[in-house]
Amino acid sequence: MIVLGIETSCDECSAAVVRDGHEIMSNVIATQIELHKPYQGVVPELASRLHTEWIQQVVEAALAQAGITRNDLDAVAVTSRPGLLGSLLVGVSFAKCYASALSIPFIGIDHIRAHLYASQIENPLEYPYLGVLVSGGHTVICRVEGYDDVTVLGTTIDDAIGEAFDKVAKFYDLGFPGGVVIDRLSQKGDPTAFLFPGPSLDESHRFDMSYSGLKTAVINQKDRFRRPDAEDTPENLAASFQRQAVGILMKRVRLALKETGLKRISAGGGVAANSLLRSELKALEKSGYTVTFPSLKLCTDNGAMVAGLGYRYLKDGITSDAHLSATARVTAFKKK
């Protein structure tokens, strides 16, 4: 079965064609990065306008690159939640019309589940596993028992991890998108030049995280945390911030592995492209865990993860009706 996946939840306008949930026939990502760069952040109104202008061409390019026509499609899957409402609405409206015109099913997809599914496309991992979803909007540690069966164990109580990367980079004018720039600068920095504090949350928040304290320390009080002999350079600052941002997450990941007894781990989302996080997760393999994450292109927002997950629902006979609309907020997750 061939599924068209459409992703417009934030600033990437993407469409992909995936066969049987794992064979990526095309994955076109039209990025708006250059257009949001002057503002050093995503401007929601601009993002939705650009999606409206681009979506048709992006879908046509995805079909052409896959070497198929629209009549070969078996379903259209689209991210319907969560994300920027205006951006989501463009994708959802387009997908609904497209599917209806072709008389094929339309499937609304949850963005968080799609990110978690991304590594399943390339490296299928047996359920259950510990899911680590880290992006610009979400920071979630969860127990994943099936493509739709996700129980949240811990989440951020304030900023998302990617948001912290982006805000630190914006404040120091390092470049956009912040995560990529900080990752690159960190390669040349001393991660112990600044010893930033981590959050101390009470027992009821055992698996939860907080990034606003770290962000504030880096932005407002960096000198307090600098080793006296260390230089105050962007590279040292980036490496020290990154070390603690990843450290906060890894501490909860280790605790969750210990307490759940899960032996497999899979990460997803834009921050799963981070080199330090990837190496720290990979290092868990020495302790007997199986670790997977998507290739870099499938970490950040893309249509292939939406099409791939769409296939799973389609195969199980689960489709959406024409009344489904976009929802900005996270909904429908089991809690531990």
Positions that interact with Zn ion (CB under 5 A): 135, 301
Residue 320 is given by DSSP the state B
87 belongs to the binding site for ligand KG4 (CB under 6 A)? no
Determine the Cα–Cα distance for residues 173 and 116; give it in Å rounded to an integer: 31
91 belongs to the binding site for ligand KG4 (CB under 6 A)? no
159 belongs to the binding site for ligand KG4 (CB under 6 A)? no
Determine the Cα–Cα distance for residues 60 and 83; give it in Å rounded to an integer: 24
- 91, 105, 178, 191: which one binds ligand KG4 (CB under 6 A): 178
Residue 197 is given by DSSP the state P
**Is the Cβ of residue 154 or residue 268 nearer to ligand KG4 in the bound state?**
268
- 7, 159, 183, 280: which one binds ligand KG4 (CB under 6 A): 183
223: burial class by Cβ within 10 Å (0-12, 13-18, 19+)? exposed
Chosen from ligand KG4, Zn ion, none, partner binding at 11 (C-beta under 5 to 8 Å by type): none
Sheet holding 106-110, edge to edge: 23-31, 12-19, 2-7, 75-81, 106-110
27 belongs to the binding site for ligand KG4 (CB under 6 A)? no
Print the binding letters for residues 131-150 with ligand KG4: x by CB under 6 A, - otherwise: ----xxx-------------
CB of 257 to Zn ion, least distance (A): 24
CB of 115 to Zn ion, least distance (A): 6
**Is the Cβ of residue 99 or residue 272 nearer to ligand KG4 in the bound state?**
272
**Is the Cβ of residue 139 or residue 236 nearer to Zn ion in the bound state?**
139
Helix (H, G, I), strand (E, B) or coil at 180: helix
Residues 290/114/138/329 CA torsion (nearest 10 deg): -150
Torsions phi, psi of 78, nearest 5?
Answer: -145, 140
CA distances (Å), origin 45, targets 48, 144, 220, 330? 5, 34, 30, 20
Site for ligand KG4 in 251-290 (CB under 6 A): 269-271, 273-274
Determine the Cα–Cα distance for residues 295 and 280; give it in Å rounded to an integer: 16
- 131, 177, 294, 310: which one binds ligand KG4 (CB under 6 A): 177
240 belongs to the binding site for ligand KG4 (CB under 6 A)? no
Helix (H, G, I), strand (E, B) or coil at 228: coil
**Is the Cβ of residue 92 or residue 218 nearer to Zn ion in the bound state?**
92
**Is the Cβ of residue 105 or residue 270 nearer to ligand KG4 in the bound state?**
270
Residues that bind ligand KG4 in the complex, under the rule CB under 6 A? 10, 135-137, 162, 165-166, 177-180, 183, 269-271, 273-274, 300-301
